[in-house]
Amino acid sequence: MTVSRVSSFQNGGKEHIELLGGKGAHLAEMTKAGLPVPPGFTITTDVCRHYYNNSRQLPSGLRDEIELALAELEKEQNRVFGGTDCPLLVSVRSGSVTSMPGMMDTILNLGLNDATVEGLAQQTNNRRFAYDCYRRLIQMYGSVVYDIEAIHFERVLQEEKQLQQCKDDQQLTEQSLVTLVHKFKRLIEQRTNKSFPQNVREQLQGAIEAVFLSWSSPRAKVYRKVHLIPDDQGTAVNVQAMVFGNRGSNSGTGVLFTRNPSTGEKVLFGEFLMNAQGEDVVGGTRTPIPIAALQDALPEVYAELSSCAAQLEKHYRDIQDIEFTIEDEKLYFLQTRSAKRNARAALKVAVDLVNEGMITKDEALMRIDVQHLNHLLHRSLQATADHVVIATGLPASPGAACGQAVFDADTAEEWKRAGKDVILVRLETTPEDIHGVIAAEGILTLRGGMTSHAAVVARGMGKPCVCGCEVLKIDEEQQQLIANDIVIREGDWLTLDGGSGQVIPGQLELKEADIFPELLLMLEWADQIRSLKVMANADSPLDARKAREFGAEGIGLCRTEHMFLSPMRVPIVQQMILAEKEIDRQVALNRLLPMQRYDFEEMFREMDGFPVTIRLLDPPLHEFLPNVEELTTRLALMRTSESDIHAERAELERMIRRVRELQETNPMLGQRGCRLGIMFPEIYEMQIEAIFQAALRCLCDGVTVQPQVMIPLVGHVNELHLLRKLVDQVAEQVLGHERRNCPYKVGTMIEVPRAALTAGEIARSADFFSFGTNDLTQMTFGYSRDDAEGKFLTHYVENKLLPHNPFQVLDTEGVGKLIEMAVIQGRSRNPLLTTSICGEHGGDVESIMFCQRVGLDYISCSPYRLPVARIAAAQAHIRMQWEMTLQEQAV
Ligand code: PEP
Ligand code: MG
């Protein structure tokens, strides 16, 4: 069934939500279900779109259609719109498709003028009531249609209350309300040079247009941006016969939730006010009463309300947020919608509804909002915390953190040792800052994107991180941070919200992560349902343990360069990189080998029975090279000092020269990944040796090991051929006859577009592909992953040149196409090939959906993102199944 652009509540239902908006669709649905709903009609979102697409003109013919609908309403109510005897009054309310509570406008009591108000007074035998309605109409009309700030009306109201010495609005006398009507009318005239319209049809047209216009009010626009609601969705307008909660002590109005939206508990929850209209409950002028008290005040109404609430919950199979009005002890429903609830309540309600047989496990899983889940799994800002945001950067690693600002890694470590919580603020982080990163509660950087060093490392550690916050200025000499004229000095408190990217001065109250039985149960259900495997990006035995705790089915990426990120190991790596002769490099490698072997061994043990994918060294060299300016300063100091030791000076000079030799103009496109392994095979040889020695030790202890050696940054099959041979040779040497018990695999990352384009060739030498979507995105777009976000990418996203930040949400149309192609080509040449993703997109919900669609075998992400990934993988599986069923039904 289709609905016309002016549609009575007798027609349509929840399936027409796109056109009728939430409120209109559910009013129609409730009418159909036989609930007491005041009659009315909805003007569809199509009309709203027409209004905006045609220089804010309503479509021709609409007026006649509204007239017809009004005539029906008049007949049904036995009243006349604009009639003086028995006037019909209506409310005019917005109704967007996606709920936007409080963001748009409402006008009540429309249809009153100087004549009809007297008619209402006579009909109800209550002149005070009639004038109360009239003053409310003029007040709302003035604010909504004429854009007069509400405070001006409030001021006049307060003056009258003071004059009459009354506390509450209901204490105002009939005479006071008549006075207020005059004063409000004058206020409108003074501020707009227009009169409050006495023609009720003019009132209606003004109200309808005002509701459409409120779709583009600044607050509605901001809300849509935050909640990703498309601008062209538009709002519907609902015109509904008025019922009056302000008609006396047996009338009232309220809001009811079918369950507690904060805890999920199955009890009616809400509040009401007697002798009041809707805006009194939400406006805060009077304190509403808990809903349970209605049982004493009007027991029969309460019983009816409870039973209808249960009926609505059952009908919608979800917790409902209901608006009701009682007019002279008669109950009416004005709205029902799925209740907004907090993360904890959402999970409890979903699990309870499954247990009550109302929904299936699949539906329960599909109802989880994974952004909500992030709040539960990490520390967050207390909802009540009032705060000033001085800057917003990239939400690089979720969770909130609070600490004293420090501007270098050494101080961070020192202060942490002294028992202080610190936030490390840096222009950007490098491996040399790692001890500071470890010590800090959270990290804030001015440069770097979602896949920059700070972001990747912080995510791996589950630490809140805001990066690429280029609006901030750091004065490193003065050790201070400046934003919006606010100066944060060393030691000043700073709070970060890594989920939203907000930087907040001061020490805010934080809420701890909240892992409770319903969440664990949901994760269990997700594991039963999903088909994508979920592995972890883990670089240490500790990470591996965490990964298992969070449900990883193996390690999908161990970035071996991260294993060197400790103050003890970084200098040895630098020694290895800066060595000029193989023999010198071998000295450093000999020191690194036992360290690597130990780590691998412990990781294999943690992952007993599960695959461990170890990526051979891929250090962007610039991240590991010592800082040349620091070396030069040290040299200068040495030259001026008395104790000028010749050998030390010579070594420093050599290091500076070597760093300069190794420096590259485009390090991310330079001597990285397998290129380094090919130029310096002894490095990879050491790593392979360490892997298989570790495997051998584990085998001796009965641990089941499944090493997967991964070659990074392959662009040409010959690179893989060469290095695969090296892996096999070293494995043979180390494992000897134990090779049979150690079924290892050799595979490659696909992160260079050429590798994706020639995947068929490459698959012949690879047991697995893992898509490194950080680099693949960098190289497909040609956007530097370290710089783009801070320079232009955020602007692109804000101005809708791109739908998302492609380093955060996979670009399915471009990068995705390469992946899809590589999977098809790869599998056609090697049917046993396994495929996965290990870039940061592996923890992103939308990207996981894409992975499911192209049939990857598993995703890999940092341990702290695993719960979200497990749920997202289940959601992706369910969505695909639903889509397939729909397709089958269509055929
Ligand atoms: C990638 O490029 O997606 C990847 C996982 O490797 P890295 O982030 O270490 O470059
Ligand atoms: Mg990479």
Q: Is the pLDDT at 284 greater than 90, yes or no?
A: no
| Ligand 1 atom index nearest CA of 561 | 9
pLDDT score, position 591? 96
209-231 pLDDT tens trace: 999 999 998 888 888 877 778 88
The least confident of 87-101, 414-428, 545-559, 617-631 is 617-631
Average pLDDT over residues 59-86: 95
Residue bearing the CA closest to ligand 1, atom 4:
772
Terminal C-alpha separation, the chain: 21
Ligand nearest, relative to CA of residue 617: 1
| Range among 259-268, 273-282, 380-389 rated most confident | 259-268
pLDDT score, position 888? 86
Q: What is the DSSP secondary structure assignment for residue 87, as one 8-state letter? A: B
pLDDT score, position 646? 80
Per the model's pLDDT, the better-predicted residue between 401 and 625 turns out to be 401
φ and ψ of 41, to 5 deg: -145, 160
Q: Is 116 helix (H, G, I), strand (E, B) or coil?
A: helix
The least confident of 82-96, 97-111, 550-564, 628-642 is 628-642
Q: Is the pLDDT at 878 greater than 70, yes or no?
A: yes
Structure-block tokens of residue 732: 């043979």
pLDDT score, position 890? 82
What is the crossing angle of helices 127-144 and 174-192, to 10°?
Answer: 20
Ligand nearest, relative to CA of residue 451: 1
Distance 851 CA to ligand 2 centre (A): 18
Q: How far is CA 200 from CA 75, 137, 267, in A?
A: 17, 12, 43
667-721 pLDDT tens trace: 889 999 999 999 999 999 999 999 999 999 999 999 999 999 999 999 999 999 9
Residue bearing the CA closest to ligand 1, atom 1:
772
Q: DSSP string spanning 559-577?
A: EGGGGG-STTTHHHHHHHH
Average pLDDT over residues 182-205: 96
Q: Do domains 378-511 and 530-625+665-710+720-747 have the same CATH topology?
A: no
Q: Which residues of 287-312 are buried (b: 16+ CB within 10 A; e: fewer)?
A: ebbebeebeeebeebbebbbebbebb
φ and ψ of 402, to 5 deg: -140, 135
Q: What is the DSSP secondary structure assignment for residue 626, as one 8-state letter? A: P
Using pLDDT thresholds of 50, 70 and 90, give the confidence band for residue 645: confident
Q: Is the pLDDT at 546 greater than 90, yes or no?
A: yes
Distance 557 CA to ligand 1 centre (A): 9
Residue ranges of E strands in 676-795 = 706-711, 745-750, 768-771
Distance 559 CA to ligand 2 centre (A): 9
Distance 598 CA to ligand 2 centre (A): 25
Question: Sheet holding 106-110: strands in order across?
Answer: 6-8, 40-43, 235-241, 90-96, 106-110
Average pLDDT over residues 733-741: 91
Answer yes or no: is the C-beta of 773 below 6 A from any ligand 1 atom: yes
Distance 774 CA to ligand 1 centre (A): 5
Q: Characterise 388 by phi-psi region: left (phi > 0), alpha (psi -120 to 50), beta (else).
A: beta
Distance 776 CA to ligand 1 centre (A): 8
What is the crossing angle of helices 582-606 and 570-578, to 10°?
Answer: 140
Average pLDDT over residues 84-102: 90
390-416 pLDDT tens trace: 999 988 888 999 999 999 999 999 999
Question: Sheet holding 486-489: strands in order across?
Answer: 473-475, 480-483, 486-489
Q: Is the pLDDT at 84 greater than 60, yes or no?
A: yes
Residue bearing the CA closest to ligand 1, atom 8:
774
Q: Which CATH number fits domain 530-625+665-710+720-747: 3.40.47.10, 3.20.20.60, 3.40.50.10490, 1.10.3720.10?
A: 3.20.20.60
Distance 778 CA to ligand 1 centre (A): 10
Nearest in space to 308 (alpha carbons), one of 289, 329, 324 = 324
Residue bearing the CA closest to ligand 1, atom 10:
775
| Ligand 1 atom index nearest CA of 841 | 3
Answer yes or no: is the C-beta of 559 below 6 A from any ligand 1 atom: yes
The one-letter amino acid code at 527 reads: D
Distance 777 CA to ligand 1 centre (A): 10
Q: Is the pLDDT at 88 greater than 80, yes or no?
A: yes
Ligand nearest, relative to CA of residue 841: 1
Answer yes or no: is the C-beta of 751 below 6 A from any ligand 1 atom: yes
Question: Sheet holding 394-397: strands in order across?
Answer: 391-392, 502-505, 493-497, 400-406, 422-426, 442-445, 465-467, 394-397
Q: Is the pLDDT at 755 greater than 60, yes or no?
A: yes
CB-facing half-sphere around the CA of 527: CA atoms within 13 A: 14
Q: Which residue reads 């990857």 in tokens?
A: 856
Out of 562, 749, 858, give the residue to mutate to test ligand 1, the one with the largest number of ligand atoms within 8 Å of its CB: 749
Q: Which residues fall within 8 angstroms of residue 482, CB to CB, at 6 or more apart?
A: 472, 473, 474, 475, 488
* Active site residue ranges: 453, 838
State the virtual CA torsion across 828, 834, 839, 840 in degrees, nearest 10.
Answer: 120
Please, are residues 458 and 465 in contact by the beta-carbon 8 Å criterion? yes
Answer yes or no: is the C-beta of 40 below 6 A from any ligand 1 atom: no
Give the C-alpha separation, 235 to 209, whole Å: 11
pLDDT score, position 72? 96
Structure-block tokens of residue 207: 């109200």
Q: Is the pLDDT at 651 greater than 90, yes or no?
A: no
Answer yes or no: is the C-beta of 774 below 6 A from any ligand 1 atom: yes
Distance 456 CA to ligand 1 centre (A): 9
Answer yes or no: is the C-beta of 775 below 6 A from any ligand 1 atom: yes
| Ligand 1 atom index nearest CA of 557 | 5
Give the C-alpha separation, 362 to 877, whole Å: 10
Partners of residue 706 on adjacent β-strands: 611
The least confident of 503-512, 524-533, 588-597 is 503-512
Answer yes or no: is the C-beta of 841 below 6 A from any ligand 1 atom: no
Average pLDDT over residues 239-261: 92
Domain extent listing, the chain: 243-341, 378-511, 530-625+665-710+720-747, 626-662
| Ligand 1 atom index nearest CA of 771 | 3
Q: What is the DSSP secondary structure assignment for residue 787, as one 8-state letter? A: T
Using pLDDT thresholds of 50, 70 and 90, give the confidence band for residue 434: confident
The number of beta carbons lying within 10 Å of the beta carbon of residue 399 is 24
Assigned superfamily of 378-511 = Phosphohistidine domain (3.50.30.10)
Q: Which residues fall within 8 angstroms of residue 513, CB to CB, at 6 or more apart?
A: 376, 377, 378, 379, 399
Neighbours of ion ligand 2 (CB under 5 A): 751, 772, 775
Ligand nearest, relative to CA of residue 837: 1
Residue ranges of E strands in 726-831 = 745-750, 768-771
Out of 774, 785, 838, 858, give the residue to mutate to test ligand 1, the one with the largest number of ligand atoms within 8 Å of its CB: 774
Structure-block tokens of residue 138: 């003029």
Q: DSSP string spanning 14-46?
A: GGGHHHHHHHHHHHHHHHHTT-----EEEE-HH
Out of 452, 535, 559, give the residue to mutate to test ligand 1, the one with the largest number of ligand atoms within 8 Å of its CB: 559
Residue bearing the CA closest to ligand 1, atom 3:
772
Average pLDDT over residues 845-874: 96
Q: DSSP string spanning 414-447?
A: HHHHTT--EEEEESS--GGGHHHHHH-SEEEESS
pTM: 0.82
pLDDT score, position 282? 61
Please, are residues 623 and 559 in contact by the beta-carbon 8 Å criterion? no
Q: Is the pLDDT at 196 greater than 90, yes or no?
A: yes
Q: How much of the chain exceeds pLDDT 70, in percent?
A: 98
What is the crossing angle of helices 717-735 and 681-700, to 10°?
Answer: 40
Average pLDDT over residues 493-502: 92
Residue bearing the CA closest to ligand 1, atom 6:
772
Alpha helices in 747-860 (DSSP H): 753-757, 759-763, 773-781, 788, 794-798, 815-829, 845-853
Average pLDDT over residues 633-661: 81
The one-letter amino acid code at 405 reads: A
Using pLDDT thresholds of 50, 70 and 90, give the confidence band for residue 647: confident
Q: Is the pLDDT at 642 greater than 70, yes or no?
A: no
Q: Is the pLDDT at 373 greater than 80, yes or no?
A: yes
Answer yes or no: is the C-beta of 838 below 6 A from any ligand 1 atom: yes
Answer yes or no: is the C-beta of 772 below 6 A from any ligand 1 atom: yes
Answer yes or no: is the C-beta of 761 below 6 A from any ligand 1 atom: no
**H helix or E strand, kind and range, residue 507:** none
Using pLDDT thresholds of 50, 70 and 90, give the confidence band for residue 285: low
Distance 750 CA to ligand 2 centre (A): 9
pLDDT score, position 53? 95
Answer yes or no: is the C-beta of 119 below 6 A from any ligand 1 atom: no
CB-facing half-sphere around the CA of 152: CA atoms within 13 A: 19
Q: Is the pLDDT at 626 greater than 90, yes or no?
A: no
The least confident of 80-89, 332-341, 609-618, 882-891 is 882-891
pLDDT score, position 283? 59
pLDDT score, position 164? 87
Using pLDDT thresholds of 50, 70 and 90, give the confidence band for residue 722: very high
Distance 836 CA to ligand 1 centre (A): 13
Answer yes or no: is the C-beta of 861 below 6 A from any ligand 1 atom: no
| Ligand 1 atom index nearest CA of 773 | 3
φ and ψ of 213, to 5 deg: -65, -30
Assigned superfamily of 243-341 = ATP-grasp fold, B domain (3.30.470.20)
| Average of per-residue pLDDT values in the chain | 92
pLDDT score, position 452? 76
pLDDT score, position 643? 55
| Ligand 1 atom index nearest CA of 456 | 8
Out of 555, 560, 618, 775, give the residue to mutate to test ligand 1, the one with the largest number of ligand atoms within 8 Å of its CB: 775
Rg of the chain taking only CA atoms, in angstroms: 33
Residue bearing the CA closest to ligand 1, atom 9:
559
The least confident of 30-44, 246-260, 838-852 is 246-260
